[in-house]
Amino acid sequence: MAKPESDRFDTIPADLHRTGAHRGPRRKGRGWIAFAWAALATGVIVAGGVVGLAIINDNIQFGGILGGTTASTPTPTPTPTPTITPIVDGAASVTILNGTETVGLAASVGDAMREAGWAGVGSTANASATDFKTTTVYYVDPANEAAALGLADSLFAKATADATANGVALSITSVRVEQSDQFQGAQLTVVLGADFVEPSADGTTDEPVQ
C-alpha cells in the first residue's frame, strides 16, 4: 500500500503544546438565558395548575392573581316574616276572665267589646286566680292570630278612651297576645290583669278589693 504524502497539517509547530479538544470561551449571558427559560416553564406549570383547580372547584377567584374584578358570591336574601294585620272578627267566640280582685271587671269589659264589634263574646267570669299581672289575649289556632291582635287593639282602645274621658293616667301600655292551648273553651280568651284598671265614676281608678 502506498504511503500518503505529508502536507502542512501533519507538521505541528514545536512551540505548540496544545493537546486534545479545546472549546472556545463561553459567551456572556448564556446563564441568564437558561434562567429565563426555566422561569417561563415554571410559570406555565403554575398557570396550568391554577386553571385545573378552577375547573375542579369552580370557586377560585382570579381577581388577585390576574388583576381583574374579583367575583363575589351573592348573599342570600332573607325570607321576610309575614305581617299579620289585626282584624275585628265578630264571628269569633270570646271568653273574658277577670284575673284581678276588681269586682265586675269581666262583665264591664265584655259589654264594651260587644259594642266594639265582638259579637262572639260569651262567658264573662272570674279567673281561677286574682293576681294576674298582665292583660293577655290567648288564642289556640294560629289561624286566629289576626283576630287575637284585633281584640288586643280593642281592649287597649277601651282602656285609652276610659283614661281620657276621666282625665286619669293610662295604666296599660299594651295588651299581650300569646298562642296557648291552656284555654280550649273559645277561639279567643282574655285574662284581665292588674294593669287593666277601669276608672270609677268619680274619676279615680278602681282599686282591687282588699
Provide CATH code, domain 94-192: 3.30.70.2390
pLDDT per residue over 113-124, tens digit each? 999 999 999 999
Which amino acid, 10?
Answer: D
Per-residue pLDDT of the chain (210 residues; tens, 9 = 90+): 566 666 665 565 665 555 555 555 556 556 667 767 677 777 767 676 666 666 666 554 544 444 555 567 778 887 777 899 999 999 999 999 999 999 999 999 999 999 999 999 999 999 999 999 999 999 999 999 999 999 999 999 999 998 888 888 888 889 999 999 999 999 999 999 999 876 554 444 444 333
pLDDT per residue over 5-28, tens digit each? 666 655 656 655 555 555 555 565
Nearest-angstrom CA–CA distance, 54 and 77? 27
All structural domains of the chain with their residue ranges: 31-66, 94-192
Question: Which residues in 2-22 are b (16+ Cβ under 10 Å) and which e?
Answer: eeeeeeeeeeeeeeeeeeeee
Under 8 Å between Cβ of 132 and 193: yes
